């Protein structure tokens, strides 16, 4: 099992997505109070790492698609992500 460390922005986005149900990108943006470019960059890095999945599936999200796309945490990493949030 690998130890996950998250930056502050990554931790904010993971908290905004939540651990139960998928979240819309517009809701994530509102909860994090980050610029849309920053949210897009963080989401793309979390998707690339495999921690977050988009609905519908995409390897990379564009800034225009973020508000209407749903995001959820990868179930394979839920426990590690919870620990990473708790350690922050």
User: Consecutive sets of 10 residues in the chain, 88 residues long: mean pLDDT of each?
Assistant: 89 96 97 96 97 96 96 95 87
Contact at 8 Å (CB) between 46 and 72?
no
Does domain 8-87 bear CATH number 3.30.70.580?
no
Residue reference for tokens 């998250």: 6
3 DSSP assignment:
P
In the beta sheet, which residues pair with residue 53? Answer: 72
pLDDT at 3: 85
pLDDT at 1: 63
Centre a 10 Å sphere on the Cβ of residue 59 and count the other Cβ atoms it contains: 8
Q: What is the pTM assigned to this prediction? A: 0.93
Residue 38, judged by CB atoms within 10 A of its CB (0-12, 13-18, 19+), counts as middle
């Amino acid at each position: 099992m690998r130890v996950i460390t998250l930056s502050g922005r990554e931790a904010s986005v993971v908290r905004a997505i939540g651990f139960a149900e998928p979240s819309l990108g517009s809701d994530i943006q509102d909860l994090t109070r980050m610029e849309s470019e920053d949210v897009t960059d963080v989401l793309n890095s979390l998707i690339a790492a495999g921690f977050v999945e988009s609905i519908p599936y995409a390897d990379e999200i564009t800034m225009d698609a973020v508000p209407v796309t749903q995001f959820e945490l990868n179930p394979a990493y839920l426990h590690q992500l919870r620990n990473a949030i708790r350690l922050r």
